Amino acid sequence: MIGGRWKGVVLYWLLGGKLRFGELRRRVPNCSERMLTLQLRELEEDGLVSRTVYAEVPPRVEYELTAFGRSLEPILLGMREWGERYKRRLT
C-alpha cells in the first residue's frame, strides 16, 4: 500500500493535516503532476487518504489522511528518523 517512491512522502506531508493538490505538488517538487495524481488515487483506493471536492469555481480539492492512514504515523516518523540518521552518516 505504501510502496513506491512517492507514497511515503505524500503520506508524511499529510500527517500535518489537509492539503490541496497544489500544496502537495510544491512539497514534492520532483514528482510529476501525473505521478502525484496516480499516487493519490491509489492511496485513496486503499483507504489511506480521503479526497474532498468543493463545488467552487475553480474547483478546490483537499486531501487528508483517514483514520486508517493516520495509523501509519509511527512508521512514517520512524522512516523519517532513520533517513535523517542515514543522511548524517553519509556526511
CATH assignment at residue 47: 1.10.10.10
Mean pLDDT of the region 65-80? 97
Residue among 31, 10, 20 nearest 63 (CA)? 20
Assess if residue 31 is contained within a domain.
Answer: yes
Average pLDDT over the chain, rounded to whole? 95
Distance CA 55, CA 64 (A): 18
Structural domain count, the chain: 1
pLDDT of residue 17: 97
pTM: 0.91
4-48 confidence digits (pLDDT tens): 899 999 999 999 999 999 999 999 999 999 999 999 999 999 999
Assess if residue 2 is contained within a domain.
Answer: no
Residue 72 CB contacts under 8 Å (≥ 6 apart), including other chains? 2, 11, 48, 65
User: C-alpha grid cell for residue 66?
Assistant: 483517514
Query: Is the pLDDT assigned to residue 84 strictly greater than 90?
Result: yes
Residue 80 lies in domain = 7-90
pLDDT of residue 21: 95
Query: Is the pLDDT assigned to residue 91 strictly greater than 90?
Result: no
Mean pLDDT of the region 54-61? 91
